[in-house]
Amino acid sequence: MTAFFVRRLLLTVPVLLGVTTLVFSLIHLVPGDPVQAMLGDSASPQDVAEMRGRLGLDRPLYVQYGSFLKGVTTANLGVSLRTNQPVTAAIAERVPATMELAAAAMAIAVLMAIPLGVIAAVNAGTTVDHAATTVALAGISVPGFWLGPLLAIVFSVVLGWLPVSGRGTLAHLVLPAITLGAPLAAVLARTTRASVIEELRELYVLAARARGASRERAVVRHAFRNSLIPIVTVLGLQFGAVLTGAVITETIFAWPGVGRLLIQSISFRDYPLVQGCILLIAVTYVAVNLLTDLVYGFLDPRIRYH
Amino acid sequence: MLKTGGAIVLLAAAAALFGPALTPFDPVSQELALRLAAPTLSHPFGLDELGRDILARVLAGARISFLVGVTVVSISASLGTVLGAAAGYFGGLLDDAIGRAIDILLAFPGLLLAIALVAVLGPSLVNVLFALTIIGWVGYARLVRGQVLRVRELEYVQAARAMGARAPHILWRHIIPAAMPAVVVQATLGMGGAIVGEAALSFLGLGVQPPSPSWGTMLNGGRAHLLDAPHLTIFPGLAIAALVLGLNFLGDGLRDATDPRRNT
């Protein structure tokens, strides 16, 4: 068990190093001179030279890389070009809003998906199953950047029930959380359906029925419990989609999280802040994937011996 | 599911191909006096914030979506298949190098890397195609590598090797064809992903730039008019959702049709 955990942790190190290197290289991918791109064509050569020095872009590449890696390990990613605020502080201010939105979206997804998936599985092959499967596939196909504005039109503009943007009350959270949670719910419902169907074919479910357990009890207490492992895994793996979806959802609903900060930084060509946001989202994703793998290894002993 | 998906995709492809013939209006010509006008018989989807016919723009947008979907999927699938097949067949250092590249690219969730790339390269259709291809090939490479590992030790491949066939011949004639059904399913679903990816980037202002009628750009334009002209949002979104639903139906149907467990 310990060996599995250590091996999995060690495998994450090169991935994190690769992610950091790619994020570091972003600024060097800017066509032409990145400093000129940030300051615009009207900037004087003195301003350009001053900014180049401020960002450390006048130093050799390996020195810049070393300095970036050191900055990552000490949570010092430079300062925002627009506000002069340290990048880590600017991001830290926005993290709670994104976490709140992500948690609410995942909760909504679980509450919607699991009953839908179980009902579809129990009624596999019937009209109920086809309807549930179609709803789930439609959920995957409707992009957040359309669902969000549609919900805003119906619930904010037409009905006037919910605020269209901002953060503060629980009412502000509803539309962004549904927008972000719906595609996740669709994926989760499909996984739940497939997983429960798989378990329902197992002999232990038949044995439970033979011992006199009701159909509901066989499904809920036996099949569903065992089908939770893939469901939990998919939930973990889908966290990445939630993080990317948050960039779009936060932009639609003016939700003051890391995703909106990223898009604002891009429009201001505030590259240190762009790098910081991208790095944070990618590292969070790697960490959640690692955690999912560890939990999976803990739940299913077969994984540890692979 | 297969038939419904195929019908939706064919309909959308026909709309993209014959779009200009279906409406008398030009997708970029403006009638400022009629800006934000609601749908009427002559303009069934209404007009946008610059008085352009939304139906004409949705039809023209279908061309951009198909262009993105087909280009991204063709390049990603070819690149991913070649790299995945080479990694799986030759193993060793090549496999390690491709494997690490895949691990690093997969460490960026979904569209994040595409957003990052377009952010630094600048918003344009070419950069969107590049960014979506960079994130797209990984899935195919991983899929094909897995298939190759499974197939390369099978007897017919060993027989070809024993008969003196060279590696490129074995890969091209015996191994890659075995991986093709899975690649076709992935490509169908991946096309939907690429179309949504382009629309998402354009919606964020990072993709196709106005006045080009990308569905994502149109949705971005509609954001400011949710209150007074919701039709700006409804129709382009409906087009994206319908086409992606069609591709998902088609992909799911193909997967079921090519899954040996479903046929036994």
Same domain, A211 and A119: yes
Q: What's the CATH code of the domain at A124?
A: 1.10.3720.10
Report d(CA A248, CA A252) in Å as an integer: 6
Contacts of A4 (CB under 8 A, 6+ apart): A297, A303, A304
Cα separation of the two ends of chain A: 12
Closest C-alpha to A283, from A10, A27, A72: A72
Report d(CA A142, CA B196) in Å as an integer: 9
Residues pairing with A86 in the sheet: A79
- Asked if the Cβ–Cβ distance from A164 to B245 is below 8 Å, we say no
- Asked if the Cβ–Cβ distance from B240 to A137 is below 8 Å, we say no
- Asked if the Cβ–Cβ distance from B120 to A247 is below 8 Å, we say no
- Asked if the Cβ–Cβ distance from A241 to B234 is below 8 Å, we say no
Q: Does some domain include residue B32?
A: no
Pick from B103, B113, B219: which is nearest to A15 by CB?
B103
The whole-angstrom distance between residue B173's C-alpha and the CA centroid of its chain comes to 27
The domain containing residue A152 runs over which residues?
Answer: 99-299
Contact residues, chain A, for B192 at CB < 8 Å: 141
What's the rounded mean pLDDT across residues B38-43?
92
Q: What is the pLDDT of residue A305?
A: 54
Report d(CA B100, CA B69) in Å as an integer: 27
Cα separation of the two ends of chain B: 19
Ranges A40-54, A224-238, B172-186, B194-208, most confident: B194-208
The domain containing residue B214 runs over which residues?
Answer: 62-263
Closest C-alpha to A236, from A109, A95, A91: A109
Q: What is the pLDDT of residue A197?
A: 86
Domain count, chain A: 2
Contacts 24+ apart (CB under 8 A), A211-217: A215/A122
Q: What percent of chain B has pLDDT over 70?
A: 98
- Count of C-beta atoms within a 10 Å radius of residue A34: 20
Q: Does some domain include residue A81?
A: no
CB-CB contact of A185 with A106 (8 Å): no
Query: CB contact, 8 Å: B179 with chain A?
Result: no
Q: Which residues of chain A have pLDDT under 70?
A: 300-306
Query: CB contact, 8 Å: A184 with chain B?
Result: no
- Give this complex's ipTM: 0.86
Report d(CA B184, CA B55) in Å as an integer: 32
Q: Does some domain include residue B9?
A: no
Task: Say what the pTM is.
Answer: 0.89
Closest C-alpha to A87, from A99, A74, A73, A75: A75
Exposure class string for B232-259: b at 16+ Cβ within 10 A, else e: bbbbbbbbbbbbbbbbbbbbbbbbeeee
Q: Does some domain include residue B23?
A: no
Q: Does some domain include residue B2?
A: no
Q: What's the CATH code of the domain at B174?
A: 1.10.3720.10
Q: What is the pLDDT of residue B109?
A: 86
Contact residues, chain B, for A149 at CB < 8 Å: 219, 222-223, 226, 233, 237
Same domain, A30 and A151: no
Q: What is the pLDDT of residue A302?
A: 65
Closest C-alpha to A102, from A264, A284, A294, A295: A284
Q: Does some domain include residue A9?
A: no
Predicted confidence (pLDDT) per residue in B119-170, tens digit: 999 999 999 999 999 999 999 999 999 888 888 888 898 899 899 889 889 8
Contact residues, chain A, for B104 at CB < 8 Å: 15, 18-19, 22
Q: Does some domain include residue A94?
A: no
Pick from B112, B205, B241: which is nearest to A142 by CB?
B241
Domain count, chain B: 1
